[in-house]
Chains A and B, each alone.
Chain A
Amino acid sequence: MASNAGVFADEAAAALEPTRDVGRLSQWTLMRRRFFENKLSVTGGIVLILFYLVALFAPFITPYSVNNLDSNSQYAAPTALHIINGHLAICGVKQTLNKSNFTWVYTTDCNNSYPLQFFAPGFSYKLLWVIPMNIHLFEVPKGQRFYLWGADVQGRDVFSRTIMGSRISLSIGLVGVAISVVLGSVLGTASGYFGGAVDNLIQRFIELLMSMPTLPLWAAFAAALPHDMSVTKRYFFITIILSILGWTGLGRQVRGKVMAYRTLDYTMAARLAGASSWRIILTHMLPNAFSHIIVVAALAVPATILGETSLSFLGLGMLPPAVSWGVLLRDAQQVSVVESHLWLMIPAVCVILAVTCFQLLADGFRDAVDPYS
């Protein structure tokens, strides 16, 4: 240990440890690994991917367009599927009028069976809003009606309407939360990093927004929208309304994180390295806060989906002729209707399923990001 070089060489050897391969993995890779260990969340994620795929290819999957009326099929019960001669098929249905109480009575007649035709032509649509097509996943021969999940009061196919409705319901969650994330991150970061008066102002504003009951406020905003808006415009405004209140929680979380990072020594080291506030925020704080933002966002999506559903259910959100799960559930507002036509509740099942899956997914994210909380 006489010469300096000797010391360094010696200590170089000393400092070396058999570092395991985890050292080469970024935090993201480690988080991904932890996430995939959580089977429940992965299942939730897979179900959600299916949901979104269905929403994306909705017109292809649905046999009928959403406003395909059939006065002969009011409240038609779900059509039973049978396997006849090795094919999926439906039985013919005969409609008779019960003259004693004037209700339609449907009787199935399996002697006349109609096999389902897969990839058969039906109504025209544009696949992914671009490719004109008329091929559908399945169709039944002309003249027959196939209601997988029954029909509503006007004889419209609940299956087709639920699938098409998922487009608005599922997308509004993502878009709404995306707006919340932008608002929340920017305001939260500003609040946490600069502190002082800026922080005070933003935090009091958040408290003000948070202290208001959400649903009435949403309803008030939504009620102010004119009824004759186009579907697209209405969608846009409803999304904004939902995210105006949605960013507050996220803003607080980001602020808390940024405040914590601000006191950490690596921020101090970055300042000593000469980094400006912007640089510190962009290269140190946001990347570190990002995983938390994702978690909070994933938890906020179901709330937004529920928000849209509630507003539409109350007739303040999306309005017919647009279809969303909330709009569909308006049909199930009366207990008497639901009692005899249980299939009208199917959109509610979809809402529950989607919201549950999002929560499972968000739980998985959270555990992966911060296994010790």
Chain B
Amino acid sequence: MASVPTASQALQSQATADYVVRVEDLRVEFRTSIGVTYALNGVSLEIPRGKTLGVVGESGCGKSVTGLAILQLVPPPGVVTSGTIGFRSRESRTPVNLLEYERMGPEMRHIRGKSISMIFQEPMTSLNPVYTVGNQISEAVLLHQTGEHKEAKERAIDILRKVGMPNPERIYSNYPHELSGGMRQRAMIAMALSCTPDLLIADEPTTALDVTTEANILDLMRELQQEIGMSIMFVTHNLGVVAQMCDEVAVMYLGRVVEQASVEEIFYDPKHPYTISLLKSIPRLGTNRKEHLEVIRGSVPDPYSRVTGCPFHPRCPSFMPGICDTTMPNVVYMPDSPQHFVRCHLYNDLANHQAVPSGVSNSIGGNGQ
């Protein structure tokens, strides 16, 4: 076991592709009066440049918190207790650790306004109801791009047209509540994309929408991604959306990434029992009609309780007594596909055959607190 690389060593050694954000060993706690809940217990993942990383998991797995933590927007009483978030912008490829910045400091504000944007499930949380849609977009443009009011307005209308608004000049002077759900989502995307960010964090952006609208919004996001060349971190619980939308997928369970791989591998060659079970438990069109769906026993444990060993072991179909309930599994890379890793004791053998990492390091700053 001694030769098994730790998560962060492994990530550093394996990372060869260009990334925008690399999260390492991120831990977030919520300290409430009832007790401490551990939202993230060492999340490590990498968002490839120009591609879409899907982050999937059930409620309470920490997928949304990961997105918020990248922007240092974890709401109180949540605190980031350890980890690094390496960010490489388009211009300067040298990574900076975002956690070293002051939460509300000028650097972080600059990052939030210009380099990393976020959209949410409920657009009204990020649209201010007392300003017109156009006002809010041109405000963002004025802050980060140009000082000219007229130019800002033109840019805003341009962006609104880009996100498929039928009548951008009219929408510009509409208030958010005058728009329908899908339109609001478009307005929020327009705002998020107004300064061509390096990374868009989309937190369940289509969950509240109807399927036909959802399909349109997904189309739109794909088109805009190609045009701007940005990366997307797509947080969702919907495996269908992941399959349609993402290039890479990170599967989370109880505050950890249990498997990350390309979308092909996740759907056609999943390794972690949780991923496998999750895929089998969804009803799929044109297939297993009226048959029993495969279920994962039990439900996600409440966040106050801590499970020993692998957090999935009480529900795992491949549970190995004596191993899974005692030891936390390490990250294991698949020998035949270097970007595919899984956190499961079933693959310990593979890990032992792997070469000890040579310590190649394009490491990023020290541990932020």
Contacts from A to B (Cβ < 8 Å): 1, 7, 10-11, 13-18, 20, 37
A10 to B298, CA, bound (A): 10
Check B298–A1 contact: CB distance below 8 A: no
A272 to B210, CA, bound (A): 30
- Find chain A residues with CB under 8 A from B302 CB: 17, 20
| In the complex, per-residue mask of B324-357: 1 if CB is within 8 Å of any chain A CB, else 0 | 0000000000000000000000000000000000
A25 to chain B, nearest CB (A): 12
Check A37–B33 contact: CB distance below 8 A: yes
Q: Name the one of A15, A16, A18 contacting B305, with C-beta atoms under 8 angstroms.
A: A18
Check A14–B292 contact: CB distance below 8 A: no
- Find chain A residues with CB under 8 A from B131 CB: none
- Find chain B residues with CB under 8 A from A11 CB: 295
The verdict on A20 contacting B298 (CB below 8 Å), with A7-B292, A37-B33 known, is no
The verdict on A1 contacting B292 (CB below 8 Å), with A14-B298, A17-B299, A37-B33 known, is yes
Check A17–B298 contact: CB distance below 8 A: yes
- Find chain A residues with CB under 8 A from B301 CB: 17-18
| In the complex, per-residue mask of B289-309: 1 if CB is within 8 Å of any chain A CB, else 0 | 000100101110110110000
From A10, A11, A14, residue with most partner B Cβ within 10 Å: A14
- Find chain A residues with CB under 8 A from B297 CB: 10, 13-14
* Chain A, residue nearest B299 (CB): A17
* Chain A, residue nearest B296 (CB): A14
* Chain A, residue nearest B305 (CB): A18
A122 to B305, CA, bound (A): 64
Give the contact-size bracket for chain B.
Answer: 10 to 19
B203 to chain A, nearest CB (A): 21
- Find chain B residues with CB under 8 A from A37 CB: 33
* Chain A, residue nearest B292 (CB): A1
* Chain B, residue nearest A14 (CB): B297
Check A15–B304 contact: CB distance below 8 A: no
Check B292–A16 contact: CB distance below 8 A: no
- Find chain B residues with CB under 8 A from A1 CB: 292
B66 to chain A, nearest CB (A): 24
**What are 17 A-B pairs with beta-carbon distances under 8 A?**
A1-B292, A10-B297, A11-B295, A13-B297, A14-B295, A14-B297, A14-B298, A15-B298, A16-B298, A17-B298, A17-B299, A17-B301, A18-B301, A18-B305, A20-B304, A20-B305, A37-B33
* Chain A, residue nearest B33 (CB): A37
A17 to chain B, nearest CB (A): 6
Given A16-B298, A17-B299, 18 extra CB contacts under 8 A: A1-B292, A7-B292, A10-B297, A11-B295, A13-B297, A14-B295, A14-B297, A14-B298, A15-B298, A17-B298, A17-B301, A17-B302, A18-B301, A18-B305, A20-B302, A20-B304, A20-B305, A37-B33
A13 to B304, CA, bound (A): 21
- Find chain B residues with CB under 8 A from A7 CB: 292
- Find chain B residues with CB under 8 A from A16 CB: 298
- Find chain A residues with CB under 8 A from B298 CB: 14-17
- Find chain B residues with CB under 8 A from A14 CB: 295, 297-298
* Chain A, residue nearest B315 (CB): A14
A20 to B306, CA, bound (A): 13
A260 to B33, CA, bound (A): 29
A1 to B33, CA, bound (A): 43
* Chain A, residue nearest B301 (CB): A17
A240 to B309, CA, bound (A): 66
- Find chain A residues with CB under 8 A from B299 CB: 17
* Chain B, residue nearest A22 (CB): B34
A114 to B154, CA, bound (A): 91
* Chain A, residue nearest B300 (CB): A17
* Chain B, residue nearest A1 (CB): B292
- Find chain A residues with CB under 8 A from B295 CB: 11, 14
A146 to chain B, nearest CB (A): 48
* Chain B, residue nearest A18 (CB): B305
- Find chain A residues with CB under 8 A from B292 CB: 1, 7
- Find chain B residues with CB under 8 A from A15 CB: 298
B269-312 CB contacts (< 8 Å) to partner A: 292, 295, 297-299, 301-302, 304-305
